[in-house]
Amino acid sequence: MLIQKLRLQHGWSQQQLADLSGISVRTIQRIERGQTASVESLKSLAAVFEIDFSLLNSESGMNGTLSQGISKEEILALEHVRKLRRFYTHLIQYIVVIGALAILNVVQTPRHLWVIWPALGWGVGRSL
């Protein structure tokens, strides 16, 4: 993202940056999308932008979310959303499995409702 930001600050197109740096346009596009770049490519870009190579190299070592400039609060919010998504995924799986067991229970042995035990989780990992 830093490369794209620097390129736009200079008012250059991807083609112009490719011509100045000796890197292909396709490589510029890949780097701007966040894919890893070779040391040689980063050195060429650092020379073109007249910045320290370590600045570009440190950005390429970061994960995708941090290199895009996302704040800590946004990262925490994304993690919370991921946890909620996992919870609801597990809840839906539970409902589907218990629903299938309930149907099986009613069809197979309608007089004995054994589906209550797995639905409540009794007997799993417990000793009497």
Looking at the structure of the chain, the number of domains it has is: 2
* Of 2, 39, 46, nearest in space to 21 by CA: 46
How far is Cα 128 from Cα 125, in angstroms, rounded to an integer?
A: 10
The whole-number pLDDT of residue 65 equals 39
How far is Cα 3 from Cα 60, in angstroms, rounded to an integer?
A: 10
Last residue of a domain, one of 27, 44, 67: 67
The whole-number pLDDT of residue 105 equals 95
The whole-number pLDDT of residue 78 equals 77
The whole-number pLDDT of residue 67 equals 41
Two structure tokens written together for 42:
């980063």
* 57 and 104 together in one domain: no
* 63 and 83 together in one domain: no
Q: What angle do CA 111, 114, 118 make, to 5 degrees?
A: 160
**Residue 25: domain span:** 2-67
The whole-number pLDDT of residue 126 equals 53
What are the residue ranges in the chain where pLDDT is below 70? 1, 58-70, 122-128
Residues 6+ apart with CB under 8 A from 23: 17, 41, 44, 45
The whole-number pLDDT of residue 101 equals 95
